[in-house]
A and B are shown apart, each in its own frame.
Chain A
């Protein structure tokens, strides 16, 4: 039953992804490996599109992956189930806010979860770097990286510049 599977996969993403905007990516790559609902190439395109559409990127990409897997109903299930753990956890934490803030176990778990979330994303970052980038891509990435060192810019700046460079590179058949 594809819908139940979708629900379970995306519920567990919402429950275990930790550390912000891109923290859902390790899980989505894992799904591509295990469930074969979409390829990693398709996922890379979905992430690119999600980055330039309105809304939190985690929600965008879940909706997209659900759509790819099982159409509109699939996207509805994926979106609902990725957000459901957040809803439940936030409501519970809000009810016991003071205890939550001062609980030593909570603090200790956050202390160990933060580097774990970072490690998961780093693994995805390395994977994206090795598998999806040709030589012209490296040049673009290096350029963007140096631009990021000089000053803090809006994410849309990098996406806009790289879209433009992609368009130009396409004319010279550099995009592979």
Chain B
């Protein structure tokens, strides 16, 4: 398939539609659509974009889509990919949101939501577990985890403030290393 803006949009619209139950299935989906069916990028590139998407802010599935879009057709491609991956989610919610205000009053719908809500708690737990495995690698990262956890859970600190705080800690660590390194060289 040719790498036109319309095709980029269409491809990510399809991926966005097939994305169910959280963004974790994005990698196999993109592999099938972009690498195998269309040959637009190769496996290594896809894995690199996915890894990069996790190391910048934002929704990972969207970040990955935008990286691929940029690779294919620069900024315009990134734009087409953004619209494509976002639109199905937007449309789905607009349709559902109107409907839900009506049917939420029904008893059996409430029961289903009660159940799904608990399923979501499990998915959040599993997400925390995965993140823990990838992020807590030593005493220092463990310390940051508990610092942020306590400030957020007990003191209701704004999440953005905690993220900015940890950005500064990261910069400060690297700066300290540089100073130490400089002193050693002298």
Contacts of B97 in A (CB 8 A): 63-64, 67-68, 75
Which chain A residues lie closer than 8 Å to B164 at the CB level? 16
Q: Are A116 and B89 in contact (CB under 8 A)?
A: no
The answer to whether A155 and B116 have CB atoms under 8 Å apart is no
Chain B: minimal CB distance from A65 (Å) = 10
Do B111 and A170 touch across chains, with their CB atoms under 8 A apart?
Answer: yes
CB distance from B7 to the nearest CB of A (A): 19
Are A115 and B171 closer than 8 Å at their CB atoms?
no
Which residues of B lie under 8 Å from residue A90 when comparing CB positions?
53, 56, 58, 63, 66-67, 70, 78
Interface Cβ pair total, 8 Å cutoff: 366
Alpha-carbon distance A164/B112, docked complex (angstroms)? 7
Considering the complex, which residues of chain B in the window 133-157 have a beta carbon less than 8 Å from any beta carbon of chain A?
A: 134-136, 141-142, 144-149, 152-153, 156
B23 contacts which chain A residues (CB < 8 A)? 20-21, 56-58
Beta-carbon nearest neighbor of A144 in chain B: B122
Q: Could you tell me if A117 and B89 are in contact, using CB atoms closer than 8 angstroms? A: no
If over half of B's interface residues share one DSSP class (helix, strand or loop), that class is named, otherwise mixed; here it is helix
Q: How far is the CA of A24 from the CA of B19 in the complex (A)?
A: 17
**Which residues of the other chain, B, contact A44 by a CB distance below 8 angstroms?**
117, 120
For the complex, is B85 an interface residue (Cβ under 8 Å from A)? Answer: yes
Q: Is the CB of A54 within 8 A of B18?
A: yes
User: What is the size category of the interface that chain A forms with chain B?
Assistant: 35 or more
Distance in angstroms from A67 CB to nearest chain B CB is 5
Q: Is the CB–CB distance between B121 and A132 below 8 Å?
A: yes
Pick the contact of B148: A25, A50, A115, A125 (CB < 8 A): A115
CB <8 Å contact, B24 and A21: yes
Interface residues of A in 73-122 (CB under 8 A from B): 75-76, 79, 82-83, 85-87, 89-91, 93-94, 100-101, 104-122
The A108-144 residues at the B interface (CB cut-off 8 A) are 108-129, 132-133, 137, 140-141, 144
Inter-chain contacts of B145 with A (CB < 8 A)? 115-116, 118-119, 122
- Interface residue ranges, A against B (CB under 8 Å): 12, 14-27, 30, 33, 44-45, 47-60, 63-64, 67-68, 72, 75-76, 79, 82-83, 85-87, 89-91, 93-94, 100-101, 104-129, 132-133, 137, 140-141, 144-145, 148, 154-156, 158-159, 161-167, 169-171, 175-176
Q: A17-B59, A167-B108 are in contact. List 12 more A-B contacts (CB 8 A).
A: A18-B57, A18-B163, A51-B120, A63-B97, A67-B97, A89-B58, A115-B135, A122-B149, A123-B153, A159-B123, A164-B115, A170-B107
A-B contact pairs, 28 of them (CB 8 A): A17-B58, A18-B163, A51-B21, A51-B123, A55-B85, A56-B61, A59-B90, A68-B97, A76-B90, A83-B82, A90-B56, A100-B52, A112-B166, A113-B55, A115-B145, A118-B136, A120-B148, A120-B159, A121-B127, A122-B149, A133-B121, A137-B114, A144-B118, A159-B21, A166-B111, A170-B107, A170-B112, A175-B111
